[in-house]
Copies of this chain bind each other. A is one copy, B any other.
Amino acid sequence: MSSPPRRRATGRVTLADVASAAGVSPITASRALRGQRSVDAALVSRVQAAADRLGYVPDPAARALASARSWHVAVLVPLLSNNLFVDLLEAVHGALWPAGYQTLIGVTHYSRQEEEHLLRSYLAHRPAGLLLTGFDRSDASRALLAASGVPCVHLMDLGAPDQHSVGFSQADAGRSITEHLLARGRRRIAFVAAQLDPRVMQRAEGYRRAMQAAGLGDARIEMLNPESSSMALGGVLFEQVLRAHPEVDAMFFCNDDLAQGGLLAALRLKVDVPQQVAVAGFNDLAGSDQMLPTLTTVRTPRTVIGTEAAAMLLKLMRGEAVPAPTIDVGYSVVVRGSS
CB of A301 to closest CB in B, whole Å? 17
How far is A93 from B230 in the complex, measured between Cα atoms in Å?
22
Task: Flag if A231 contacts B290 (CB, 8 Å).
Answer: yes
**Which residue on B lies nearest to A235, using beta carbons?**
B290
For the complex formed, measure the closest distance between the CB of A141 and the CB atoms of chain B, giving whole angstroms. Answer: 15
**Chain B proximity of A37: nearest CB distance (Å):** 23
* Contact indicator A260/B287 (Cβ below 8 Å): yes
Q: Does A27 contact B (CB under 8 A)?
A: no
Size class of the A contact interface (CB-based, 8 Å): 35 or more
Per the bound structure, the CA–CA distance linking A185 and B64 in Å amounts to 64
User: Contact: B232 with A290, CB < 8 Å?
Assistant: yes
Which of chain B's residues have a CB closer than 8 A to the CB of A87?
81
- Residue A124 CB within 8 A of the other chain: yes
User: A57 CA to B120 CA in the complex, in Å?
Assistant: 9
Q: With the chains together, A260 CA to B286 CA distance in Å?
A: 12
Given contacts A62-B65, A290-B261, contact A102 B121 (CB under 8 A): yes
> Can you sample 10 A-B contacts with CB below 8 Å?
A10-B68, A60-B61, A61-B61, A61-B65, A81-B90, A105-B105, A260-B287, A260-B290, A261-B287, A267-B292
> Knowing that A58-B124, A260-B290, A268-B292 are A-B contacts, what are 4 other residue pairs whose CB atoms are under 8 Å apart, sorted by A's residue number?
A57-B124, A59-B124, A61-B65, A81-B86
